[in-house]
Chains A and B, each alone.
Chain A
C-alpha cells in the first residue's frame, strides 16, 4: 500500500535552517510529482512547493521562494525540503503528498501524517 512518511521537523531559531525528508513507498516513485503543503497553527492549508517526476521542474509559493528548495532522490524514493532563513511565520505542520496523476500539477491522493516545524528563539 502507498505510504508517505515525513521526518526532520523540530525547533529552530529565526534565521536558521532545517531539512525535511519524505520517504515514499508502495508506488512507482519516479512516475509522480510530489508536493509539500503546510498548516500554520490556527490557520488553513497552504501550498508550499512541487517537484516533477525526475526533479527537473520545481515551483514554489511566493512566501517561500528563494528560501526553500525542494528536491528528490529517485534511487531512494525520497523528497526533501531544504528550508533556509526561517521565520516565525514558517511555523507549522508540514505535509508531504503524492500527486494523483502522472502529470505535474495534479490533485494529491496520498498524504503523510506531517512533521512539526517550530521557529522560535
Chain B
C-alpha cells in the first residue's frame, strides 16, 4: 500500500498569512493526488485534483503543485473560513490512502 505523509500535523496562522502544507508519497503516484478540506460536522470538500487543478468554485488563493512523490498545497492569503483540517489522498492505486491530516488553526 502507498503511505501518504503530511507535514506539518498542525499549524497556527493568522488571517492574511501564506501557508503551505506538504504531502509525500511512499512511491510514485504520478499526478493522481487530490487535496480535501474538512470542517467538523461537514462533508469533506475537494480543493485540488490531479495535483494542481483547482476544483470549480474553489477560490484562487488555493493552489497545488508537485508530481511523483512530493506535493504541496498553498493558501496564499488565509481567510477566516479556511481554518479546517486538510488531507491529501492518492488515487494512483488501490487501496487509496489519505495523509494523516493537517489541522490549520487560528493564531
The interface bits of chain A over 101-113 (1 if a CB of B lies within 8 angstroms of the residue's CB, else 0) are 0000111110111
Q: Are B101 and A62 in contact (CB under 8 A)?
A: no
Partner of A113, one of B43, B91, B96: B43
Please choose the segment from B16-24, B45-53, B65-73, B74-82 that sits at the chain A interface, where 4 or more of its residues have CB less than 8 A away.
B45-53
Q: Name A's interface SS.
A: strand
Chain B's closest residue to A6 (CB) is B43
Chain B's closest residue to A63 (CB) is B95
CA distance A62 to B100 in the complex (A): 17
Q: Are B98 and A108 in contact (CB under 8 A)?
A: no
CA distance A45 to B45 in the complex (A): 12
CA distance A39 to B98 in the complex (A): 11
Q: Are B49 and A100 in contact (CB under 8 A)?
A: yes
Chain A's closest residue to B102 (CB) is A44
- List of A residues within 8 angstroms of B62 by Cβ: none
CA distance A27 to B44 in the complex (A): 19
Q: How large is the interface on A (under 10, 10 to 19, 20 to 34, 35 or more residues)?
A: 20 to 34
Q: What is the distance, in angstroms, from B11's C-beta to the closest C-beta of chain A?
A: 15
CA distance A117 to B102 in the complex (A): 24
Partner of A109, one of B32, B46, B98, B99: B46
- How many chain B residues have a CB neighbour from A under 8 Å? 27
- List of B residues within 8 angstroms of A111 by Cβ: 43-45
Q: Are A112 and B43 in contact (CB under 8 A)?
A: yes
- List of A residues within 8 angstroms of B55 by Cβ: 109
Partner of B95, one of A39, A47, A114: A47
- List of B residues within 8 angstroms of A60 by Cβ: 95
Q: Are A45 and B101 in contact (CB under 8 A)?
A: yes
A37 within 8 A of B: yes
- List of B residues within 8 angstroms of A39 by Cβ: 38
Known: A44-B101, A109-B55. A100 touches B46 (CB 8 A): yes
CA distance A11 to B16 in the complex (A): 43
